[in-house]
């Protein structure tokens, strides 16, 4: 992978020039250009020297190129040293622009991709163990489109970290002891909802759509029912009783349905953490002692919070953690969990094999029953970094958790990070289509309780149907089951790409009509480019060997080549910044470059056999790189669409 090597060579060159001129302390940039007419790589060093010496940037740039850089390039060529720099020229604006040597880039990039299966993998993780928590949907409803954003961010991050030699473990936190589950129990026991509805509806959708939202409507007029909720919640907290067993049964059943949707979206998990186990094993008491000892918690002696244990920090106002009656508040659940993730409290749980997963891995779950141990499991609770993916509404609480960890660890390396993202809302059009009244607003926040939701499976099903129609236009001779499998691959890739390509701190206004588009900057566009490359490779009878890299000449070839050669930089950038979007943008750019190449440059119809081999090598490399990118994005590289 040599785009980076090109940048590094230019950095060395500039550094040497500055050294001979006796200039130091200049923090210049060597970076990609914004446009091809400016070459491939550019530096702003002339601007910065201009500042120091009161010479014009343009003069300096010209001086550098004529008197220094050209010598270097000529020297490299005459000495047959393998330089990646082809040429350099000063731009009147003051930049020094470089063009890379296509032959040398092609030679090293394509050779490496074609011969080394681990070509763009990086070691920035150095084996570091990272816990990623994502999804964590309350087990009383089905996943809606907003939950999918969470899942896709987390799962892409998992794939990204695995590619960069981190050791990621994925947790899905199941709040099986909260109010939401109590609402379902109330619905089944006291509001006449049958547990087994006769409909073909998925159980999680039934619970969320029918029971949960309807029960919440009933509360407003039925004081007695609201009273029942308090009773049920108490029973759940105490455990053991029939009511609590029913709650457990229901939440497990909903969870099983939720997991089907998660797995449909090709998400991988390592462990289900049940909140009830954290509560039942009394993690809070141990945590409480530690926090008191370290002085993170202080006992308020006066004012309105008198007799409460609070966290006093700069990040927020005083936060009550233990009430004056000695009971713990909500945040007290999050703190032990965070400490457990980083191994700061002893492991409280045993683990059993919950089920097998779509990717042939095992999904484990916590249990307090020592006898249920079922085989070797990874070490779950002692990560060096914990990344928690929750939407930005939780930012303040998560900041507080980070603060607590920081107070306990000091400058140690362990780290708790909240990866925040803005929620997904429904566009006014989509809300109207669903018969929801949102007034004059442009969008509506989703709410399971209010029934303002678009379910993930619903959107996937429509996408599937639409993709199937398109497929049948082109492949009507194939078997129906094969066509359906392809439609499913397209639907899933489309949804994942759609929810990962945007910036995390931008609210997504979900429009069902727009989300069904299969054209333009969408998943299918990327998959189509890949499928095209497959047709070429499939029809070719030529062996890709003895490649003559010097025949690379067309703009469409070099521009595709350079894009391919950036993969390693992109992966590192995305992983370092925990920013999966970078990879999605890259995938799109790569597909655009390939489609351009495909239109402009014939491969199989090229008369020169040496050029055919070279172009095949380029197509093959594109295939391999695109496949790798798809793998990280959780998209399917389809040989045929």
Contact (CB, 8 A) for 170 and 153: no
Stretch of 69-77, 126-134, 244-252, 471-479 contacting RNA, by CB under 7 A:
471-479
What are the tokens at 341? Answer: 């993730």
In angstroms, the CA 468 to CA 488 distance is 8
| Of residues 384-413, those binding RNA (CB under 7 A) | 392-393, 395-397
**Minimal CA–CA distance to 466: which of 414, 420, 522, 526?**
522
CB of 169 to RNA, least distance (A): 26
Q: Is residue 184 near RNA by the rule CB under 7 A?
A: no
Which one of 170, 174, 344, 490 is in contact with RNA (CB under 7 A)?
490
How remote is the C-alpha of 176 from its chain's centroid? 26
Contact region with RNA (CB under 7 A), list: 194-202, 265-273, 402-410, 594-602: 594-602
Report the residue number, 351 or 597, with the smaller CB distance to RNA. 597
According to the binding rule CB under 7 A, does residue 172 interact with RNA? no
State which of positions 520-579 bind RNA (CB under 7 A).
520-521, 524-525, 528, 531-532, 535-536, 539, 577
Question: Total residues at the site for RNA (CB under 7 A)?
Answer: 90
By CB under 7 A, what part of segment 611-630 binds RNA?
none
Residue from 15, 26, 409, 592 that binds RNA (CB under 7 A)?
592
The span from the CA of 171 to the CA of 276, in Å, is 15
Rounded to a whole number of angstroms, the minimum distance from the CB of residue 437 to RNA is: 15
Closer residue to RNA, CB minimum distance, 13 or 471: 471
Q: Which is closer to RNA, CB of 355 or CB of 478?
A: 478
- Sheet containing 424-427: which strands, arranged edge to edge? 443-445, 424-427, 508-510
Q: 281, 436, 595, 627: which one contacts RNA (CB under 7 A)?
A: 595
Q: Closer to RNA at the Cβ: 229 or 414?
A: 229
Min dist CB 203 to RNA, Å, is 22
Nearer to RNA, 165 or 595 (CB): 595
Sheet with 85-90, edge to edge strand ranges: 30-32, 41-43, 96-100, 85-90
Using the rule CB under 7 A, is 194 a contact of RNA? no
Strand order in the sheet with 309-311: 297-299, 309-311, 319-322
- In the complex with RNA, which residue's Cβ is closer, 129 or 287? 287
Contact residues for 637 (Cβ-Cβ < 8 A; gap 6+):
527, 530, 626, 627, 630, 631
- Helix or strand (DSSP H, E) at 417: strand 415-421
Considering only the stretches 107-115, 218-226, 318-326, 380-388, report the one whose residues sit in contact with RNA under the rule CB under 7 A: 318-326
Query: If we measure between CA atoms, which residue out of 563, 556, 565 comes closest to residue 587?
Result: 563
Residue count (the chain): 641
Segment near RNA (CB under 7 A); pick from 8-16, 45-53, 141-149, 379-387: 45-53
If one asks whether residue 95 binds RNA (CB under 7 A), the answer comes out as yes
Cβ contact 102:357 at 8 Å = no
- Which residue of 112, 121, 210, 422 would you call a contact of RNA, by CB under 7 A? 422
Which residue lies nearer to RNA by CB, 81 or 330?
A: 330
Residue with Cβ nearer RNA (40 or 270): 40
Alpha helices in 394-479 (DSSP H): 395-409, 428-433, 456-474
Among 304, 314, 371, 541, binds RNA (CB under 7 A): 304
Which residue's entry shows tokens 């999804």? 135
Closer Cβ to RNA, 35 or 477, answer by number: 35
CA 39 to chain centre: 32
- Answer whether 321's CB lies under 8 Å from 332's CB: yes
Determine, following the binding rule CB under 7 A, whether residue 605 of this chain makes contact with RNA: yes
When binding is defined by CB under 7 A, the residue of 76, 596, 627, 631 that contacts RNA is 596
Give the distance, in angstroms, between the CA of residue 582 and the centroid of all CA atoms in the same chain: 10
Binding mask 129-168 for RNA (x = CB under 7 A): ----------------------------------------
Q: What residues numbered 232-251 form the site for RNA, per CB under 7 A?
A: none
50 touches RNA (CB under 7 A): yes
> At a CB cut-off of 8 Å and minimum separation 6, what does 252 contact?
139, 176
Binders of RNA in range 497-516 (CB under 7 A): 501-503, 505-509, 514
Using CB under 7 A as the binding rule, the residues of this chain from 253 to 292 that contact RNA are none
Identify the residue whose tokens are 């669903």: 434
Residue 255 CA to residue 235 CA, distance in Å, equals 21
* Interface with RNA, residue 327, by CB under 7 A: yes
Q: How far is the C-alpha of 177 from the C-alpha of 555, rounded, in Å?
A: 61
Instruction: Convert 9-32 into a string of H (helix), E (strand) and C (coil).
Output: HHHHHHHHHHHHCCCCCCCCCEEE
Strand order in the sheet with 362-367: 350-356, 362-367, 271-274, 167-174, 129-133, 385-391, 415-421
- Select from 474, 482, 550, 555 the one that contacts RNA (CB under 7 A): 474
Q: Does 306 bind RNA (CB under 7 A)?
A: yes
**187 touches RNA by CB under 7 A:** no
Coil, strand or helix: which one is 40? coil
Contact between 441 and RNA per CB under 7 A: yes
């Amino acid at each position: 992978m040599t785009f980076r090597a090109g940048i590094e060579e230019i950095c060395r060159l500039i550094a040497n020039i500055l050294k001979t001129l006796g200039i130091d302390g200049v923090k210049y940039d060597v970076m990609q250009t914004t446009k091809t007419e400016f070459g491939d790589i550019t530096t702003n060093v002339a601007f910065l020297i201009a500042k120091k010496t009161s010479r014009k940037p343009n003069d300096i740039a010209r001086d550098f190129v004529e008197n220094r850089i050209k010598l270097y390039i000529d020297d490299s060529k005459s000495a047959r040293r393998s330089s990646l720099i082809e040429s350099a020229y000063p731009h009147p604006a003051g930049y020094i622009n470089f063009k890379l040597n296509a032959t040398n880039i092609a030679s090293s990039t394509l050779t490496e991709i074609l011969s080394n299966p681990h070509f763009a993998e990086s070691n920035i993780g150095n084996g570091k163990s990272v816990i990623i928590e994502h999804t964590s949907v309350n087990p009383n409803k089905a996943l809606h489109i907003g939950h999918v954003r969470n899942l896709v961010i987390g799962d892409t991050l998992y794939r990204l970290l695995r590619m960069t030699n981190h050791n990621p473990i994925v947790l899905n936190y199941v709040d099986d002891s909260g109010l939401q589950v109590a609402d379902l129990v109330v619905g089944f026991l006291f509001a006449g909802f049958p547990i087994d509805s006769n409909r073909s509806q998925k159980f999680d959708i039934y619970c969320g759509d029918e029971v949960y939202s309807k029960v919440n409507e009933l509360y407003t007029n039925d004081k007695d029912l609201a009273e029942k909720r308090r009773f049920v919640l108490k029973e759940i907290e105490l455990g053991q009783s029939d009511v609590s067993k029913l709650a457990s049964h229901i939440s497990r059943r909903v969870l099983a349905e939720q997991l089907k949707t998660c797995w449909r979206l090709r998400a991988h998990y390592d462990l289900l953490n049940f909140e009830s186990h954290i509560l039942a094993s009394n993690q809070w008491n141990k945590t409480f002692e530690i926090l008191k000892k370290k002085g993170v918690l202080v006992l308020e002696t006066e004012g309105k919070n008198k007799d409460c244990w609070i966290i006093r920090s700069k990040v927020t106002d005083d936060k009550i953690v233990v009430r004056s009656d000695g009971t713990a508040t909500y945040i007290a659940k999050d703190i032990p969990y965070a400490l457990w993730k980083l191994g700061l409290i002893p492991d409280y749980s045993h683990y059993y094999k919950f089920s097998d997963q779509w990717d042939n891995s095992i999904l484990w779950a916590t249990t307090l029953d020592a006898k249920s141990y079922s085989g070797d499991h990874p070490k779950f609770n002692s990560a060096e970094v914990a990344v928690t993916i929750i939407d930005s509404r939780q930012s303040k609480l998560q900041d507080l958790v980070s603060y607590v960890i920081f107070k306990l660890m000091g400058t140690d390396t362990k780290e708790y990070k909240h990866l925040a993202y803005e929620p997904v809302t429904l566009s006014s059009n989509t809300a109207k289509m669903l018969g929801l009244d949102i007034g004059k607003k442009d969008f509506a926040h989703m709410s399971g309780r209010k029934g303002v939701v678009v379910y993930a499976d619903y959107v996937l099903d429509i996408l599937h149907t639409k993709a199937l129609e398109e497929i049948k236009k082109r492949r009507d001779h194939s078997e129906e089951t094969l066509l359906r499998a392809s439609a499913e691959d397209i639907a899933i890739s489309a949804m994942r790409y759609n929810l990962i390509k945007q910036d995390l701190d931008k609210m997504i206004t979900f429009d069902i009509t727009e989300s069904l588009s299969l054209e333009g900057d969408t998943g299918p566009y990327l998959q189509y480019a890949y499928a095209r490359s497959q047709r070429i490779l499939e029809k070719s009878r030529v062996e890709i060997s003895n490649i003559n890299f010097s025949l690379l000449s067309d703009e469409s070839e070099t521009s595709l080549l350079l894009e391919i050669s950036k993969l390693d930089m992109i992966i590192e950038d995305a992983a370092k910044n925990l920013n999966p979007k970078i990879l999605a943008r890259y995938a799109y750019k790569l597909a655009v470059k390939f489609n351009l190449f495909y239109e402009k440059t014939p491969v199989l119809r090229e008369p020169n056999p040496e050029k055919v081999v070279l172009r095949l090598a380029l197509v093959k490399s594109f295939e391999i790189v695109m496949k790798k990118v798809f793998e990280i994005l959780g998209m399917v590289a389809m040989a045929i669409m």
